[in-house]
Amino acid sequence: MTHTLFGVAIYGALKKTDMDVKTKWAFFGASVGSSVIPDIDIQWARAGADYLMSHRGITHSLLMVPVWAGMFSLLAWLFFRVKDRRLFWTAFAGVLLHIVSDWTNAWGTGLLEPFTSRRYAIGIIPNKGYVFWAMAAAIVPFLLLFRGEKQRTRLFRVFWGLAALYAGFQIAHSAYVYADLKKDDFDRVAIRADRYPGGLSYYAKRDLEVVEGRHEIGGASGVVREHRIDPVDVEALMLDPSARSLLLFAPFVVTQDLGDEIRVFDPRFSDRVSMLSVNVPKA
């Protein structure tokens, strides 16, 4: 839904005073279609832990950005007989925004598929786009009040200005927490932003420990949980399909020796998403 909102907002921010009806429809289709097309992979994404690697893979790769953009340029010609180089760049922006926005949340995306299956995530923007929808809701009354094309274009550009300010705030907050943890000699740090500004959870790895903490602007901050990492044979874990998917998906994992089996989990989501915790028999 949020990717669709971004597509509508891209179209709304375009200058359209020189466009006829067919050209407008072509740009609308390119804006919205390009903003959602990477998620076509949910049509074949497999259930369970395999979902981690079958979704947000090659369709979300940077390599596919010009491919998707070229496809929408071709579709604009086939359906509307509109040929305009701006269509390519509009679709390019839509696809790139989808990929970048997925990269900024904690679930991440396969930026460098097919060269590597690793998932990249920085976690500074929450998975759910409630803040962006709140911004959109704030400008809807003005869209109803002002009917002129230039006025509406300005309103959509205001939306993008607000979105940029929000992203900048999230970057600054996350960078502060990241730098503070690095000063404490944590070698790996992962961030998971709250659904609303001002709070985030952090996960930091140092030697054989992982700490989970909170940082809230003007609120409670500090470590809330610690995990001890048991040394295990990672090569053996990679032979288990579910564990392999988890190892490729997570920035780092916690491993626990339970006797007859080894528990592997992503500390960012282990209490919330069952597929991000896997028990592997030692045999």
Domain boundary among 121, 136, 166: 121
Q: Quick check: helix, strand or coil at residue 236? A: helix
Domain boundary among 121, 140, 162: 121
In a domain, 144, yes or no: no
pLDDT in tens, the chain (283 residues): 999 999 999 999 999 988 999 999 999 999 999 999 999 998 887 766 678 888 899 999 999 999 999 999 999 999 999 999 999 999 999 999 999 999 999 999 999 999 998 999 999 999 889 999 999 999 999 999 998 999 999 999 999 999 999 999 999 999 999 999 999 999 999 999 999 999 999 999 999 999 999 999 988 889 999 999 999 988 889 999 889 989 989 999 999 999 899 999 999 987 777 788 999 998 7
In a domain, 184, yes or no: no
In a domain, 155, yes or no: no
Count of domains in the chain?
2
Q: In what order do the strands lie in the sheet with 277-281?
A: 254-257, 261-265, 277-281
In a domain, 243, yes or no: yes
Distance CA 263, CA 254 (A): 8
Domain that holds residue 264: 234-281
Kindly report the pTM of this predicted structure.
0.91
Which are the contacts of 30, defined by CB distance < 8 A and separation ≥ 6?
A: 72, 73, 75, 76, 87, 90, 91, 94
In a domain, 117, yes or no: yes
- Cβ(162)–Cβ(133) below 8 Å: no
Q: In what order do the strands lie in the sheet with 209-216?
A: 188-193, 199-206, 209-216, 221-228
Domain boundary among 93, 121, 149: 121
Nearest to 23 by CA among 103, 102, 99, 83: 83
Q: Quick check: helix, strand or coil at residue 106? A: coil
